[in-house]
Amino acid sequence: MALVEMKKVELALHRSVTDKVVASLQRLGCCEIIRFGGDNSSGETRGGPVSEHLKRYENLLSDARFALRFLENYRQGKAGFLAKALSEKPQRNMAELESLSDETDFQDLVQKLRGLERQFVEIRTEMSQLAALETILENFRDLSESLLFFTAGTEKVKGVIGTMPVDQVSRLELAFSSQVGKDGELFVKVVDPAKDKDAKVALLYIRELEEKVSALCAEVSFNRIELPRELSGTPAEEIARIGEREALLQEREESLLKEAGSLSSQWMDRVQALSDFWSVMNGRYEALDSSESTEQINFLRFWAPVDALPRIEKELEPFSSLSDRMVKAPEEGEVVPSMLRNPAWASPCEPLTTMFGVPTYGGVDPTLMMAPFFYLFFGMCLGDAGFGVILALILGGVLVKFPIAGNLRKFLIVMFICSLSTVVMGALTGSWLANTVDSFGFLHFLKPLRDRFVLWDPMNDPMTYLSVCLALGFAQLIFGLGIAFWDALRRRSYMEAFADRGGWITLLVGLALFFLVSIGKAPASLGLLAKSLAGGGALILFLTQGRTKKGLLSKAFSGALSLYGVTSYLGDTLSYSRLLALGLSGAAIGLIINLLAKMISEGVPYVGWILALILFVIGNIFSLAINVLGAFVHSLRLQYVEFFSKFYEANGRIFTPFGYETQFVKIVETGDGREQG
């Protein structure tokens, strides 16, 4: 319920053992290093071996990132996303990785990969240039003159090629024949007169007429195309040459691809392992870098949970002659990281708590109190035992079969428990894939079995079920206020406990009781108790809620106004009616599916039952998907908005221990076989 108690540990270490101690702490993975003096904003990283190591590992890591990206691109037989998420990480130990790092000529590989990448880029650039040239030349394929005339020209003859508007062509032809006449040649091509706006034009003329032709060209908005100088054959010849060149380039690219592929299969795993090793080492030197040091001594400070202290002590035992340590309680004003710890059945809900916000250190961790409500509400919202069984089987299978870790695993466990709760709630409301048992004659024999568990039938008697939902909601709200009351007591702020929380609890319980008495659900003898509770609560609130105000009148006004807050509690309670609505909507969709399936199976001859079965399966999958989303979101919302708002303070910072943070491999210990994540 409360967060794990944290202690601040200050270590003074002789320089000679600092590396080893930091390595041990990293292996333990239960300390959060505190940076000295905030950060090294001066940019001066104290020089020395530590920053050199840091620089080295940072470079290696950036190379590794490049190499991994490259190798991943050219990997043969890529693994799917799911397969990747579900497969187990290979296990390695630090010594192994270190020797791997030493014996690998990584720089050589990186050089090779960069070379390959450059060649790929070169090939692709040339290919695209060739393709562009090819489209230009394709337009002049019928031109029988050598392109030499159009690039450099000969001593006597010069030419230009280009495009121009189709409607100007006749003008050009006229002017060309009158001004150049026999001293030149004109080639015009319009691919599709209906659509093309540009004609492809080639002009050939004797050099002396160059100026005249230029003027002519300017008049008809001729757009000149520059060709590469090395072209010397006819366009048709050049196109053939380009084709040859392209084939050659393609061949080269294929051989490079093969090389990249083989490099990928040869190196991928190793580079992944190395990248993890270097990031671990980088983390270690970052920790060292955040220590403060004199010539002989390094000072290291970190947060650690109280129960990890003996382990740390044991780890530091061998260095006791060269180290000194002090364990302190957190001081006022220090931001202590929060570490959540809950029993196994509730701890999978921790990500749901931290998604809302990390609990403030010293405050309440709501996970344990939220978990049962969340499981229950999810079950009520989904509310179908058939869905519950299906979900439980799928999730259980996935959890057993695949070695999933981390938050994904927690999420799947939450969903698994939720699906069990769905089975229970579905059985209590008699919903097994809605009313499937009633709908289809051949399932009627299951009816007595189903009916044995039914407690309510929300479809036929929604009001009873609604009151159950609201009662549960009211209970959760009072529970939330109770936690706030307890928390205030624990912090010894009695005024807050008894006046703010106590006042509301008394008033609300009194009002609820009064309501029950007045609709005849509670014995009338409790009426007096109800009235006095409500009255007492209201009086407490009236007298205390204005206590920060000055002046009797404004005190009284604030006190009276605070009673208006009862509407927000009413609203919160009514909000729980969504449990019924969502439960009903799931059941009703199921009802519709069954009805349609029955209509089809009876109405369509011969194949009716096949169509009905298909409709039944697809319809239920759709219904399951949409209802699971709704159930999850709305039961979570009830926790966040209605429950958490009563007591939960989420201004904390999550405890992030200094350890082995890896992406691809799992680092294990060799010595005594202890595993470190």
Partner 1 sequence: MDQVVTTLLTTMSEQLGAMIAVLGAGIAAGFAGSGSAIGISIADEAASGIMTEDPGKFGLALLLLALPGTQGIYGLLAAFFAILKVGLLGGAAVKVTIWQGIGIFGSLMPIAIACYYSAIAQGKASAGAILLISKRPEEIGKAVILPAMVETYAVLALLLSIILMNSIKL
Contact residues toward partner 1 (CB under 8 A) are 351-352, 355, 462-463, 466, 574-575, 577-578, 580-582, 584-585, 588-589, 591-592, 595, 599, 626, 629-630, 633-634, 636-637, 640-641
Provide the 8-state DSSP code for 383: -
182 CB contacts (<8 Å, ≥6 apart)? none
Q: Which is nearer to partner 1, 291 or 575 (CB)?
A: 575
Q: Which is nearer to partner 1, 152 or 618 (CB)?
A: 618
CB half-sphere exposure, 472, CA atoms < 13 A: 21
* Alpha-carbon span 369 to 646, nearest angstrom: 12
Q: Would you call 344 exposed, middle or buried from its count of C-beta atoms within 10 A (0-12, 13-18, 19+)?
A: exposed
Instruction: State the Cα torsion 94-339-477-479 to the nearest 10°.
Output: 110
- 359: enclosing H helix or E strand: none
Q: Which is nearer to partner 1, 472 or 530 (CB)?
A: 472
In the complex, the smallest distance separating the C-beta of residue 118 from partner 1, rounded to whole angstroms, is 27
Q: Which is nearer to partner 1, 154 or 656 (CB)?
A: 656
In the complex, the smallest distance separating the C-beta of residue 366 from partner 1, rounded to whole angstroms, is 16
Alpha carbon of residue 573 to chain centroid: 33
Q: Which is nearer to partner 1, 422 or 594 (CB)?
A: 594
Name residue 158's beta-bridge partners. 205
Q: Would you call 521 exposed, middle or buried from its count of C-beta atoms within 10 A (0-12, 13-18, 19+)?
A: exposed
In the complex, the smallest distance separating the C-beta of residue 96 from partner 1, rounded to whole angstroms, is 32
Nearest to 147 by CA among 207, 218, 226, 206: 226
Q: Which two tokens stand for residue 112?
A: 């090779």
CA distances from 437 to 447, 459, 596, 600, 608 (A): 6, 15, 15, 17, 19
In the complex, the smallest distance separating the C-beta of residue 577 from partner 1, rounded to whole angstroms, is 5
Q: Phi first, then psi: what are they for 433, rounded to 5°?
A: 50, 55
- 200: enclosing H helix or E strand: strand 198-206
**Residue 415 one-letter amino acid:** M
In the complex, the smallest distance separating the C-beta of residue 656 from partner 1, rounded to whole angstroms, is 15
Q: Which is nearer to partner 1, 73 or 128 (CB)?
A: 73
In the complex, the smallest distance separating the C-beta of residue 592 from partner 1, rounded to whole angstroms, is 5
Count of all residues that appear for the chain in the document:
677
Which residue has 């079920």 as its token pair? Answer: 465
* Alpha-carbon span 169 to 162, nearest angstrom: 12
Q: Which is nearer to partner 1, 465 or 514 (CB)?
A: 465
In the complex, the smallest distance separating the C-beta of residue 429 from partner 1, rounded to whole angstroms, is 15
Instruction: Tell me the three state secondary structure of residue 459.
Output: coil
Q: Which is nearer to partner 1, 257 or 471 (CB)?
A: 471
In the complex, the smallest distance separating the C-beta of residue 521 from partner 1, rounded to whole angstroms, is 18
Q: Which is nearer to partner 1, 512 or 628 (CB)?
A: 628
In the complex, the smallest distance separating the C-beta of residue 600 from partner 1, rounded to whole angstroms, is 13
